[in-house]
């Protein structure tokens, strides 16, 4: 794959991640961060960077867990 495309995926993940930090509310921050980490996993796979893949996969699971917890708490509190 073209290096420009691969770098664009990495920079896209960076922009999404930085945007997530400017959002208000934990739910929105975690959702956007999860998306950014999914892009980082793709980027890591394309450049064969196992530490990026492992770290971001863990982050996706953590964000997913907390998103689920937030949705459950929201539905319980009505």
pLDDT in tens, 34-69: 999 999 999 999 999 999 999 999 999 999 999 999
What is the spatial distance between Cα 52 and Cα 57, in angstroms, rounded to a whole number? 8
Mean pLDDT over each residue of the chain, to the nearest integer: 95
Confidence of residue 78 (pLDDT cuts 50, 70, 90): low
What is the spatial distance between Cα 31 and Cα 68, in angstroms, rounded to a whole number? 10
Would you kindly state where each structural domain of the chain is located, as residue ranges?
3-77
What is the spatial distance between Cα 72 and Cα 75, in angstroms, rounded to a whole number? 5
Average pLDDT over residues 14-23: 97
What is the spatial distance between Cα 73 and Cα 22, in angstroms, rounded to a whole number? 24
Q: Indicate if the pLDDT at residue 1 is higher than 90.
A: no
Q: Indicate if the pLDDT at residue 11 is higher than 90.
A: yes
Under 8 Å between Cβ of 4 and 12: no
What is the spatial distance between Cα 59 and Cα 14, in angstroms, rounded to a whole number? 14
Q: Could you tell me the pTM of the whole model?
A: 0.91
Strands, DSSP E only, in the chain? none
């Amino acid at each position: 794959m073209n290096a420009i495309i691969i770098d664009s995926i990495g920079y896209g993940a960076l922009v999404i991640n930085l945007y997530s930090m400017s959002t208000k509310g934990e739910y929105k921050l975690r959702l956007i961060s999860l998306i950014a980490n999914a892009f980082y996993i793709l980027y890591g796979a394309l450049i064969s960077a196992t530490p990026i893949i492992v770290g971001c996969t863990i982050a996706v699971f953590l964000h997913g867990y907390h998103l689920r917890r937030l949705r459950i708490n929201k539905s319980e509190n009505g």
